[in-house]
Amino acid sequence: MRDKNDLIDRFLAMFDCASAVVVDGYIITSGTGDGVFAYDPEGFEWGIKAAEIVTREKYSEFCAHCEPETDADLARVVYEETGLEICHGGTCDPVLDTDFVEIEEMPRHLRASHRAANNWGTYPHNGATRRRVTRSEAEEIVRSDDDGYDHIVAEVE
């Protein structure tokens, strides 16, 4: 496989309105249409090779030969590092729900003592942690918490 920067240069030479960056080992493209996409470098290289062969419809040929990544964890990293929202191929629907909230969670290793004391205490003195997650992630965390402690604290812009 070629160097990622070489692949990006070849991509940009074909699609003059495009831009591309490397995030977490994946190539993130934008400016070729309606969406932002993340590609595994090996698949990306296949797409470029296919597009370089044809004289018309280069982007269609590129898309037909490499499937964008749709992993939510990767989408979160890309969003946090670049502010770009990667999309599903074909639909351009965002992979990541960008409706973020702050969630407060009680670490598993502290739960037994809080349960025994019949008192969860208050953040931050009780050992709970807070972090930013998507609303759908937060709702799943809250739903799966048998102790009923984990909860959404606030909306995040």
Residue 114: per-residue pLDDT = 92
Residue 127: per-residue pLDDT = 95
Residue 1: per-residue pLDDT = 58
The CA distance from 71 to 52, in Å, is 28
Distances in whole angstroms, Cα of residue 99 to Cα of each of 37, 57, 80, 85, 123: 19, 35, 13, 12, 23
Q: Could you tell me the pTM of the whole model?
A: 0.59
Residues of the chain with pLDDT under 70: 1-2, 17, 33, 55-56, 97-98, 157
Residue 17: per-residue pLDDT = 67
Residue 152: per-residue pLDDT = 95
Residue ranges per domain, the chain?
4-82, 100-156
Residue 149: per-residue pLDDT = 94
Distances in whole angstroms, Cα of residue 98 to Cα of each of 8, 22, 46, 56: 27, 21, 30, 36
